[in-house]
Structure 1
Amino acid sequence: MSNPFRTVFPFVLLAFAMTHAASAVADDASAGFTRCMGAAEGVTVDMINCIDAETSLQDARLNSEYRRTLAAITTRQQARLRTAQRLWVQYRDANCAFLADPDGGTLATVMSVDCRRQMTTERASELARLRDQTRVP
């Protein structure tokens, strides 16, 4: 008798890859990430490599947007943003680590590393929007 998990699991990974590749533009991911995930074809290690590379790009983008936003707001707002950013980093790290359930198998690892990528990408975009909406008096 065959194990249904072994039959279904590759399709779950492929669906995950396709979903994230399709939504990459919507979450401000790079075009390279979209191509990489498409080329990974659901292979876990390749997907994780794509996600890690994109996370590095988005982390650099996050740091840039954070510095630019700090420079564009008042001193009082700067202190509040620093506090918020420190707490946000703690939340992101704890939230994504939670998804790395040791009993969740390979998919849990993919979900955990992609959580960090997505949250970092979203925060960078959020800071850019905040800066664009904020006017220093």
Structure 2
Amino acid sequence: MSRTSKMATGLVGLALTASIATWLSPAQAQESVPTPKAMAAFRVCLAAAKAGVDCGQPVYDSCQAAHDQPDTTLSITECTMTTHKAWDVILNERYRAVIAASPPNFKLKLQKAQRAWIVSRDADCAAVYEAYIGGTIRGLLYAGCMVEKTSERVRWLKEMGED
């Protein structure tokens, strides 16, 4: 193989790698939103949730059912990020409720803690994404990290809001 052919093959490989990384990037995977029906099922599950129940499953399943290529790395990643969006909606609702019901001192501490948590969550999940830089699994691992961290925070905020 000539030097020019090797260079062209390398550029094609680089373009393909860049293309794969693009469709699995965290920013792009975050574009999907849960359907109102899936969000309603998610809320019902959360209201009656018992330990160990995966309330994100209805959101994920709805996303997969609507996807034109279900059960692919891309759809799994996108649907996991859709599940993250559902958790993020609940997180923001619970945060606002706790803030609204809190005395000023606690409110300031919680606002500071929430800002720090967002930075920490994003850094942790970005590190997961970067650790798997050469693989197509990186987007899914990033999405899973976002779901895990956000769902944990929702539970924590629920405890903070209970009397």
Say whether the fold is shared (TM-score over 0.5).
yes
1:32 maps onto 2:32 in alignment: no
Q: What are the within-5 Å matches in structure 2 for residues 43-58 of structure 1?
A: 43-58=72-87
2:124 to 95, 98, 102: 95
Match of 1:118? 148
| Cα separation, 1, equivalents of 2:58 and 2:81 | 12
TM-score, normalised to structure 2, is 0.58
Distance 1:53 1:38, change over 3 A: closer
Structure with the largest fraction of helix: 1
Q: What are the within-5 Å matches in structure 2 for residues 61-100 of structure 1?
A: 61-100=90-129
| Cα separation, 2, equivalents of 1:82 and 1:70 | 8
TM-score, normalised to structure 1, is 0.68
Q: CA deviation at 1:27?
A: 6.5
Match of 1:127? 157
The answer to whether the 8 A contact 1:65-1:127 is kept is yes
Q: What are the within-5 Å matches in structure 2 for residues 14-33 of structure 1?
A: 26=52, 29-33=55-59
Gaps of 5+ in 1: 1-24
Identity %: 27
The answer to whether the 8 A contact 2:91-2:154 is kept is yes
The answer to whether the 8 A contact 2:64-2:79 is kept is no
The answer to whether the 8 A contact 1:59-1:120 is kept is yes
| Cα separation, 1, equivalents of 2:79 and 2:99 | 30
Structure exhibiting the larger radius of gyration computed from Cα positions: 2
Q: CA deviation at 1:36?
A: 5.1
Aligned length: 108
1:26-85 CA deviation, whole Å, 9 max, x = no partner? 3653341353588754x2111112112111111111100000111222110000000000
